[in-house]
Structure formats: C-alpha cells, structure tokens
Amino acid sequence: MLKDEELELLRRRRMTELMKRLQIKEAEDGRKAVDPKKILRRILTDRAWEVLKAAESQYPEATCRVEEHLAHLVSKGELEGPILGGQLLWLFRRLGMNVKLETRIRILEHGKLKTIGEKLKESQI
C-alpha cells in the first residue's frame, strides 16, 4: 500500500508540474501579439499598401484598429481574397476617414514620362 500511495503522490506532482508548464506556455503565447501587417500582407494587393500608409499618416489610431480588425477577420477565415486599393479606400471613407492620396498626372511622350508641370513649361517655351 505504501508503494501505491507513493506512486499516486508522484503522479500528482508530475501532473501539477505539467499543468504549470502548460500555463506558462499559454501565457507566453498570449503575450506574443501577431503583427497585423504580417497577416494583411497575404491579402492586400494593388495600391492597398499605399492607401494603408496614407491612412496611417492621417489617422494613426483609427488605422491601427482597422488593421487589427481586418487581421482578425483574415485569421478567422471570414475575410478571403485580395483587397484592392480602391476597396480599402472605400472602407476607410465608409468609416468616416477621408484618406487623401497623393495624385500625380504624368504624360508619356516620346518614351519619357513627364509630369503635367514639365509639359506645361515646355508648351510655354
């Protein structure tokens, strides 16, 4: 009987030790926050990154929350497929964030790209 009690005590100690290890590992995994940009890298295409950077510079806190929410939806599998720049811009505007993008007009002439300013200067000469 003494051996049975000793074995049972050893089992309990081993079980508590394993439970502590598991709790520590779960706590460490919980602390490691997944970077939303790594997740979004899978689905953002076209000019979506340009829109995201513009939104971050204009609305940093709100953009961070949108990134986290989109990453959460992607990781759960509720959001699939590529997100284009226009779609992301629409989302931000729908959320009340009027993200302004830099617009450049270029003209291809004789194999060279010229800005509209350069073209106007040439026509004045």
DSSP-assigned letters across all residues of the chain:
-HHHHHHHHHHHHHHHHHHHHHHHHHHHHHHSPPPHHHHHTTTB-TTHHHHHHHHHHH-HHHHHHHHHHHHHHHHHTSS-S-B-HHHHHHHHHHTT--PPPP---EEEETTEEEEHHHHHHHHH-
Q: Tell me how far apart the alpha carbons of residues 76 and 70 are, in angstroms, rounded to a whole number.
A: 10
CATH class entry, domain 34-124: mainly alpha
Rounded distance between C-alpha atoms, residue 75 and residue 113, angstroms: 41
pLDDT at 93: 95
In this predicted model, what pLDDT tens digit does every residue of 80-90 receive, in sequence order?
A: 889 999 999 99
Do 45 and 82 contact (CB within 8 A), yes or no?
yes
Rounded Cα–Cα distance for residues 40 and 123 (Å): 45
11 pLDDT tier (thresholds 50, 70, 90): confident
The 10s digit of each residue's pLDDT in 46-98 is: 899 999 999 999 999 999 999 999 999 998 899 988 999 999 999 999 999 99
Confidence of residue 119 (pLDDT cuts 50, 70, 90): confident
Answer yes or no: are the C-beta atoms of 59 and 66 closer than 8 Å: no
| Cα dihedral across residues 82, 86, 87, 91: positive or negative | positive
